[in-house]
Structure 1
Amino acid sequence: MSDLPTQSTPLNQHSIRALEQWLDSLGASRVDGDPCLWSLVTPEWTAELQLEREDLRVAWQRPDQADRVCSLPYGLSRADVEAAIQAGP
C-alpha cells in the first residue's frame, strides 16, 4: 500500500518519507553519506538527484556528451517532476 499523495500533488506537499519512497519507486538509490543525494541509472543515461532547499536539482550524464542540469521547483506536481526526470537529458 502506497503512502504517497496523488500524482497531482506538488512535491512541497510530500513528507520526507514520501519523497524517499517516491525516489525509491523510480529506481533511484540513495548515495552513501548524503541523505539528500540519490542516483538513478537507466540504460541510456544516469542522473544525480539532489534534494536542495528550494528545488530538486537533476544532473543527467550520458557517455560522450556534456552533462545537463535542471532545477525543478518543489511547487510542481509529482507527475510533472517525474515526467521531466524520465525524459532524460
Structure 2
Amino acid sequence: MSMPSADTPLYNHPLPELESWLRERGCQQDRQELNHWWLEKSNWKAQLWLDTDQITVVYDVDGSEREIQRSFKYSLSRQDVEDAVFGGP
C-alpha cells in the first residue's frame, strides 16, 4: 500500500500509513497508550495524540515554563499538518 499524495486529507490515510508517517518524521509511539506519540527536536519537544477527529499536539519549548497546545483536524491535508506540527511551536 502506498501513501496517498501529500495534498490528501488525513482522514483518507489508513492508520498504518499515518503511523509510518509519524515514525519517518522521528516520532516514537507510547507502548502503553498507542494513540500517544513523542517527538524531540533540538530546541523543543512535543507530545502528539491521535484522537478521534483530530491530532492534538502539546509543545514544550526549552527554557519556557508554559506549554503550547494545538489541534489539527483530520480534514486538513497531510502536507498542511506536517508543515504545522513539525515546524514547531
Whether the TM-score (by the shorter chain) exceeds 0.5 is: yes
Unaligned runs of 5+ in 1: none
Please give the per-residue CA displacement for 1:24-59, whole angstroms capped at 9, x wherever unaligned: 111100012011001011001011010001100000
Separation in structure 1 between the aligned mates of residue 23 and residue 84 of structure 2, nearest angstrom: 17
How high is the TM-score relative to the length of structure 2? Answer: 0.94
Separation in structure 2 between the aligned mates of residue 73 and residue 5 of structure 1, nearest angstrom: 17
Separation in structure 2 between the aligned mates of residue 31 and residue 46 of structure 1, nearest angstrom: 15
How high is the TM-score relative to the length of structure 1? Answer: 0.94
What's the % identity of the aligned pairs? 32
Instruction: Give the length in aligned residue pairs.
Output: 88
Give the C-alpha shift of residue 6 in structure 1: 0.6
- Consecutive aligned runs of 4 or more in structure 1 exceeding 2 Å deviation: none
Is residue 50 of structure 2 the alignment partner of residue 45 of structure 1? Answer: no
RMSD: 1.1
SS in 2 for 1:32: coil
Unaligned runs of 5+ in 2: none
Give the C-alpha shift of residue 82 in structure 1: 0.3
Q: 1:25 is matched by which residue type in structure 2?
A: E
Partner of 1:67: 67
Separation in structure 2 between the aligned mates of residue 34 and residue 3 of structure 1, nearest angstrom: 26
SS in 2 for 1:53: coil
